[in-house]
Amino acid sequence: MPLDLEEQEQIDQLKAFWQKYRNLITGVVTAVLFAYAAYSGYQWWRTSQAAAASQLYETMVTAINKGDKDQTLRAADDLQKQFSGTPYAAMSSLVAAKIASDAGDSEKAMAYLRWAAKNASDQSYVAIAKLRLVAQLIEQGAEKDFAEADAILKEKPVTGFEALWLERRGDWYLAQKNTADARKSYEAAWVQLNQAKEFPEEARRLLKVKLDAVGGVAQ
């Protein structure tokens, strides 16, 4: 069926448009397809990584239940090396730090905590790692340890952990026999901890003991 003049004109316009912009259109479509393929591949990779990391974490849990310290720490090391981008790596590092600390290997414990503080993708794990690292450094008690702990405590607290940051600062002062500033930090922590109802009662009881020890008054 022959085209009328209006239809023929529209076709000619489309042809002209395509001739002028075909390279641009082809490039955009290709870019979109590549982006979709990359996104799909990334999602598959994340799922695959998480599944493999989960299996290795289960191996670590089994080793813990068996009391196998060496296998536990090896699993934590493997999770750091192979699956650093997954939450399992940070979780295992925190667990490994506790196990190493209980075994009297404070240097190894602090190495795990430093790794988690630097590499954890979840800010809660970052906060826990930093707070536990500060506690370990204070316990070590050398000048360089106090300096490292001080540097961590001067960082902006992870949201939701402000009270515990203040409590650790109080510990830092107290370890250096600065009772007055320790009391101020503990009192500030007490105010914030009472406002943060999500913290367990045990946290308040522990802080109350510290406050009593420095002559503070916790109402």
Query: 74-85: per-residue pLDDT in tens?
Result: 888 888 888 877
Rounded Cα gap, residues 42 and 117, in angstroms: 25
Q: Please report the pLDDT score of residue 5 as a whole number.
A: 53
Average pLDDT over residues 121-130: 90
Average pLDDT over residues 200-216: 84
For residue 185, being part of any structural domain is answered with yes
Average pLDDT, the chain: 79
Asked if residue 116 has pLDDT above 70, the reply is yes
Same domain, 173 and 103: no
For the entire predicted model, the pTM comes to: 0.73
Residue 5 in tokens: 């003049």
Q: Please report the pLDDT score of residue 219 as a whole number.
A: 52
Same domain, 94 and 169: no
**210 touches 186 (CB < 8 A):** yes
Q: Please report the pLDDT score of residue 129 as a whole number.
A: 93
For residue 189, being part of any structural domain is answered with yes
Average pLDDT over residues 40-58: 61
**Where does the pLDDT of residue 173 fall: very low under 50, low under 70, confident under 90, or very high at 90 and above?**
very high
Rounded Cα gap, residues 160 and 124, in angstroms: 9
Average pLDDT over residues 173-185: 92
Q: Please report the pLDDT score of residue 22 as a whole number.
A: 58
Residue 46 in tokens: 């994340």
- CB contact set of 164 (below 8 Å; sequence gap of 6+): 127, 131, 157, 189, 193, 203
52 vs 50, higher pLDDT: 52
Same domain, 95 and 135: yes
Same domain, 129 and 168: no
Total of domains in the chain: 2
User: DSSP alpha helices (H): ranges in 67-155?
Assistant: 69-82, 87-102, 106-119, 123-140, 143-153
Same domain, 187 and 219: yes
For residue 42, being part of any structural domain is answered with no
For residue 26, being part of any structural domain is answered with no
100, 116, 140 - which closes a domain: 140
Q: What is the CATH number of the domain that holds 215?
A: 1.20.58
Q: Tell me which residue range forms the domain holding 182.
A: 156-219
Closest CA to 116 of 105, 128, 108: 128
For residue 135, being part of any structural domain is answered with yes
Same domain, 54 and 134: yes
Per the document, the length of the chain is: 219
**164 touches 189 (CB < 8 A):** yes
Question: 17-26, 35-44, 81-90, 130-139 — which is least confidently predicted?
Answer: 35-44
Same domain, 100 and 163: no
The tokens 């009593």 sit on which residue? 212
Q: Please report the pLDDT score of residue 178 as a whole number.
A: 92
Same domain, 126 and 170: no
For residue 38, being part of any structural domain is answered with no
Chain centre to alpha carbon of residue 57 = 17
Q: What is the CATH number of the domain that holds 70?
A: 1.25.40.10
For residue 216, being part of any structural domain is answered with yes
Same domain, 76 and 124: yes
